[in-house]
Structure 1
Amino acid sequence: MSLATLLQLPAFVMLAIAAVCLVLAIAIAAGGRRYRGIAGRRYRSGASAALRALVALVLLALALVAAAGGWMLRGYRVLDNDITVLGVAAHAQGPKHWTVDLSFPDGKSRTVELNGDAFRVEAMVVKWKTPAMLAGAPPLFRLDRLSGRYDDASEEASTTPTVVPLAEHDGWDFLDLSHRYPQWLPQVDTTFGSGAYLPLADGGHYTVSLMRTGALVARTDDMSPPVK
């Protein structure tokens, strides 16, 4: 994975900041620097040690906050342009039963099974209030789930749904925090879900993109057979 791709991952950026703060805290706590007064005189050893300890504690606190932020943002990516978020290849295994190969922008892949006439992909998008946007905070998103969809709603209601989680977390994340404690994240303007679906065809290849507006769009690749 390239550095440019890594920089699109808020979790990587936050963890990198946490690592830098932790290294600086350790170096300062070890007494790697001497502090001088404005007139160039050295502080007495007690004052110097206290100052180093204070700075080290502040850096350690920043490291912990950044690490917690990175953990909460795992699975999110920056939405700064129209981007491809998922590739889908379908293979029929029986009537309305499919094996689906998923390919992600970071090179990872998965094979899952779906039931239905179509596939549906959903994502969650986070947008910021104007002050945060002016400060350079980009919208964020994470893929949420893939599911099978029936053309006949009554048929879908009478069958067991097939749902595949796509979110890269197994506990609290940024959205959970913003929903439960909105006062902690006052610059979050809105969080919303976006979805798109297309009919499945044996040998079909599809591309799912997320627009800058936060809308998911699913397209059939040229190599796909026509849907009957």
Structure 2
Amino acid sequence: MDWSKLLRLPTTVLLLLAAVFALITLVQLVMLRRHLHRRRRLAASGRALLCLGAFALTLLLAGGGFALRGYRLLGEEAPVVDIDARILSPQRWALVLTWPDGSFRQVQLDGDDWRVEAVVLKWKLPALLAGLPPLYRLDRLSGRYDDAAQETSAPRTVIDFGEAGAFDLRSLSKQYPQWLPEVDTVYGSGAFLPLVDQGHYSVSLMRTGALVARPDEATARRIGQPLGD
């Protein structure tokens, strides 16, 4: 089975398939009721098995659709997000976040640096040998101050992306590890860089699970300039 192709199915496709099997379940329930009314026990038993099977597939597809929402495949180096920064006032910034699919979000951030964090899910060896790739999702963006003392008293900004919602693989693996026996570990990875006016940054994730943040050439030159230049 090609797990890469399976996991590339969008959430909507999985939910549509779940709806189809839910409809099949209802049809089987109607047929089961008819057979029971006519006292056809053998036929009713067959319909009951089909009903249970269709219902199980409904739950599996619906659960997979919701749990995988927000997760992406992790290749050798997967682009996570591009960040463009514009200064509003000292230690106050306007950021535009652009995802690989072209969607974007505008936020404001306090601090000297930005920090982005992601949740990475890795599978155990049998699943890896079967071709199941690691997964990741962007978790949050926050501001960071260079002065540790200021960090304790200055305004803080934390932006929760919350792409996966409350029903998430990370929560499931903690609360019901028996449901996901092939999950090896779920952990966080983060990276940060200094903020400069008109700065452009690219964030990617290595297959090892490490986030990598890179400024473009012009931004790197601004970061290297002394303050006031």
Normalised to the residue count of structure 1, the TM-score between the two structures is: 0.82
Q: Work out which of the residue numbers 78, 82, 87 in structure 2 matches 1:83.
A: 78
Select the residue among 212, 222, 226 that pairs with 1:226.
222
Cα offsets for 1:146-193 (capped at 9, x unmatched): 011111111111113101112314423110111122232221111111
Q: Which residue of 2 aligns with 1:184?
A: 179
Q: Alpha-carbon deviation of 1:8? A: 2.9
What is the one-letter code of the residue matched to 1:60?
F
Which stretch shifts more, 216-225 or 85-94? 216-225
Distance 1:111 1:105 in 2: 15
What is the identity percentage for the equivalent residue pairs of Structure 1 and Structure 2?
51
| Structure-1 separation of matches of 2:137 and 2:23 | 30
- The 3 A distance-change label for structure 1 pair 220 and 141 is same
Does structure 1 residue 72 correspond to structure 2 residue 55? no
2:25 paired with 1:22 = no
> Which has the larger helix fraction?
2
Is contact 1:6–1:12 with CA below 8 Å preserved after alignment? no
Q: State how far apart, in whole Å, the 2-side matches of 1:16 and 1:215 are.
A: 34
How far 1:72 sits from its partner (Å)? 2.2
| Structure 2 counterpart of 1:213, one-letter code | T
- Pair 5,210 (structure 1): closer, same or farther in 2 beyond 3 Å: farther
Aligned residues: 213
Contact 1:142 1:167 in 2 (8 A): no
Q: Please tell me the residue identity of whatever aligns with 1:182.
A: P
Task: Classify the secondary structure of the residue corresponding to 1:184.
Answer: coil
1:144 aligns to what? Answer: 139
Do the aligned partners of residues 91 and 147 (structure 1) sit closer, same or farther apart at CA in structure 2, a change above 3 Å counting? same
Deviation at 1:102, TM superposition (A): 0.5
Paired with 2:5 and 2:60, the residues of 1 have a C-alpha distance of 23
**TM-superposed deviation, 1:24:** 4.7
- Residue 5 to residue 120, structure 1, CA distance change in 2 (3 Å): farther
The answer to whether 1:113 aligns with 2:108 is yes
TM-aligned CA deviation for residue 9 of structure 1:
5.7
Q: In terms of mean alpha carbon deviation, does 174-183 or 115-124 score higher?
A: 174-183
Give the counterpart letter for 2:58 in structure 1.
Answer: A
My pick for the range that moved more, 136-145 or 218-227, is: 218-227
Tell me the CA shift for residue 25 of structure 1: 4.2
Deviation by residue 1:73-110 (Cα, 9 ceiling, x = unmatched): 22111213311110100000000110000111222111
* Cα pair distance change 1:68/1:125, threshold 3 Å: same
